[in-house]
Chain A
Amino acid sequence: LEHIPKGNNCLDAAKACNLDDTCKKYRSAYITPCTTSMSNEVCNRRKCHKALRQFFDKVPAKHSYGMLFCSCRDIACTERRRQTIVPVCSYEEREKPNCLNLQDSCKTNYICRSRLADFFTNCQPESRSASSCLKENYADCLLAYSGLIGTVMTPNYIDSSSLSVAPWCDCSNSGNDLEECLKFLNFFKDNTCLKNAIQAFGNGSDVTVW
């Protein structure tokens, strides 16, 4: 029988954050708008997104990535990791838009447009490279991915059993653009460069980059 670890890395990261003045401050600064319900609404999504962007902009990667990219071996851990961005406010919506429509609305916003471009550049998979990344740089890929949190393209983990991620969209009603839509969506869901980068951070290999 395999040894079952007592605590979990995501909990340890949350503890470390609250013992650090900067991380504690910016964590509360996004938890507040992301959990405060408005009349008829779960929260003010715009304020929640802004505070999430500030959290990832201002808090050192050691702490912010610690909570977002922690490695897990049980559901208590993966559920905590999934809750990091307060998905009920920042991620989920009543309906899932088509991913290409979501991409269009992202492109109308300066921050979203540039961060999405960074993501496609820095997390480009390449099966022939040792890292599985064309750019061979995990840190740049994680920076680009975390940069999307707080935009309309906010991604999150989609299930509790893998590192598969996606923005809140699907490819139904794509018509002739189905192939293009699936290509876009699978760049998130099935991206070996991103998965390897998250794994490398989670198990502390590739420490030289941080």
Chain B
Amino acid sequence: GRRGPRGRNRGCVLTAIHLNVTDLGLGYETKEELIFRYCSGSCDAAETMYDKILKNLSKSRRLASDKAGQACCRPIAYDDDLSFLDDNLVYHILRKHSAKRCGCI
């Protein structure tokens, strides 16, 4: 995996798994495979002034709920398109289906 762009929030990383296209649950019938990359990990260390204020307000109980709208580990760039031929000889293309870089956003 790769760490987030700012160096903090090192918990937010890219992880790759080898899957069958059918594992994605998108309804395609094919025997082709892919590498799926996803972002996961904690974003507890505040990144921006906004996040810092939110964290402080949450700590001093000035907010209605804890952890309201806190940053989460999400793709900030996507992998290249993936194409495959299904069992009925029809081609399909998946776009923005797999992460390339992760960040706390």
| Residue positions of A touching B, CB distance < 8 A | 7, 11, 14-15, 18-19, 21, 24-25, 27-29, 31-32, 34-35, 79-80, 83, 86
Contacts and interface: CB of A to CB of B under 8 A. Distances in A.
Interface stretch (B2-10, B50-58, B85-93): B85-93
Interface of B: 18, 31-35, 80-85, 89, 91, 93
Contact of A11 (B32, B34, B80): B32
Given A14-B32, A15-B32, A19-B18, A79 B89 contact: yes
Contacts of B81: 25, 28-29, 32
A166 B85 CA distance: 23
10 contacts: A14-B85, A15-B32, A18-B34, A21-B80, A25-B81, A35-B91, A35-B93, A80-B85, A83-B85, A86-B91
Main secondary structure of the interface of B (DSSP, over half): strand
Contacts, number: 49
Q: Which of A11, A31, A35 has the largest count of B CB atoms less than 10 A from its CB?
A: A31
A18 B80 contact: no
Nearest to A76: B87
A28 B18 contact: no
